[in-house]
Copies of this chain bind each other. A is one copy, B any other.
Amino acid sequence: MNVAYVNPFISATIHMFKTMLNTELKPGTPMLKKEPLPSYDISGVIGLSGEAQGSIALSFPKAVSLKIVSSLLGAEIKIVGPELTDGIGELANIIAGNAKQFLSEFNLSISLPNVIIGKNHVIASPSGAPTIIVPFSCSFGEFAMEVSLKTK
């Protein structure tokens, strides 16, 4: 995986947080996920397919996800329920949709989001498809993005 392919996902995430949540994101250093590491408590995962195949996941601690979706909806969400999972799924959907425009050579299409809930769940990708993790921090707290894209 060419790490340059991660840049559109980083840019899309920063743009989304700036325009929809009025929040500056600080991306950390992207790193290769060497083994299945636990993600945070709740992850929005979107499959990518077309001339390349992969997935993008945004993974949040529960408290951070509640703050972000509350801000997105303009109403306080206190529990893990459909508002939260729909909010996290939509966030992943917007970021994947935005990023794919900058990867037009792959003619990517995106799946519906799946939202994974579970303390210390692990998201593994196929061994042959390296995953890049990008940590982010912002006023809501910390979270991480995981991108895997296998070009043919």
Chain A residues at the B interface, C-beta cutoff of 8 Å: 36, 45-50, 53-55, 57, 82, 85-86, 89-90, 109-127, 129, 148, 150
Contacts and interface: CB of A to CB of B under 8 A. Distances in A.
A134 B84 CA distance: 25
A126 B45 contact: no
B127 A82 contact: yes
A123 B57 CA distance: 13
Copies in the complex: 2
Contacts of A120: 118
Contacts of A115: 123-125
A115 B50 CA distance: 20
Contacts of A121: 116-118, 121
A90 B25 CA distance: 36
Contacts of A125: 89, 112-115
Contact of A47 (B55, B90, B116, B127): B55
Contacts of A150: 112
Given A49-B49, A49-B110, A50-B109, 9 more contacts: A47-B47, A47-B110, A48-B111, A82-B124, A85-B124, A115-B124, A116-B116, A117-B121, A118-B118
6 contacts: A49-B49, A49-B111, A54-B112, A89-B126, A116-B121, A118-B120
